[in-house]
Chain A
Amino acid sequence: QVQVMESGGGVVRPGRSLRLSCVASGFTFSTYGMHWVRQAPGKGLEWVAVIWYDGTNEFYAGSAKGRFTISRDNSKNTVYLQMNNLRAEDTAVYYCGRDGAPRDSSGYVEYWGQGTLVTVSS
């Protein structure tokens, strides 16, 4: 069955960097877009970024543009989120998810990981 598992969360000081990883299994990874979505404590969901199945396109939320970079390694069934210049408001659970349709991104997240918590604090 489809499984998605995030790692790399933790406590980091403002201005520092952190890289999240997400390993997927149970499907042909290289044919699906992958997303990152975050949720601040007690708040709603915020879409962060998507990368197309072949890595040729990436799109970001305004809050992530210029500071975060999504990438993927199809040989390792892994997608990454490099987060630079972190701020307190980036504190959230970060979910990785598989897109709903193969090839071009459908736009919705069909399968979700359990999330990894990032805390930005001095």
Chain B
Amino acid sequence: DIQMTQSPSTLSASVGDRVTLTCRASQNVNRWLAWYQQKPGTAPKLLIYTSSNLESGVPSRFSGSGSGTEFTLTISSLQPDDFATYYCQQYIVYPWTFGQGTKVEIK
């Protein structure tokens, strides 16, 4: 199975900060990578697919990049609604796998 490793596990930041989350794959996943946001007690929400495509309705402050084994999710100016846990997921080969998550918390 492809292992997805996210860093950091926890990120402390302030409103207005630019934050970058990283996701690394144990083997090449090309650009077949998605990012999700999850808040406590709620279902995940799709943010980005195919590495850099912004899901409809997602604010433009979110952006994704990368290919191969290294990917990033950037929030250009952190908003109060963005404090949550973020997961990456590869979908190049079954079984599809998620990273362990990065929790973005208030500094």
Task: Decide: A112 near B43, CB < 8 A? Known: A44-B87, A45-B87, A107-B32.
Answer: yes
**Is residue A95 within 8 Å, beta carbon to beta carbon, of the partner chain?**
yes
- Report the interface size for chain B: residues with CB under 8 A from the other chain: 24
CB-CB under 8 A from B32, the residues of chain A are 107
Chain A residues touching B, majority SS: strand
Q: How many residues of A contact B (CB 8 A)?
A: 22
Instruction: Flag if A95 contacts B1 (CB, 8 Å).
Output: no
A95-B95 CB under 8 A given contacts A44-B101, A107-B32: no
Say yes or no: A44-B44 contact (C-beta < 8 A), given A106-B91, A107-B91, A108-B89: no
When chains A and B are docked, how far (Å) is the Cα of A106 from the Cα of B98? 15
Q: Which of A15-23, A55-63, A80-88 contacts B (4 or more CB under 8 A)?
A: A55-63
Chain B positions near chain A (C-beta within 8 angstroms): 1, 32, 34, 36, 38, 42-46, 49, 55, 87, 89, 91-92, 94-101
State the A residues within 8 Å of B (CB). Answer: 37, 44-47, 50, 59-62, 95, 100, 106-115
Having A47-B95, A47-B96, A115-B43, one finds 12 other A-B pairs with CB under 8 Å, namely A45-B38, A46-B98, A100-B46, A107-B32, A107-B34, A107-B91, A108-B34, A108-B91, A109-B36, A109-B46, A110-B49, A111-B46
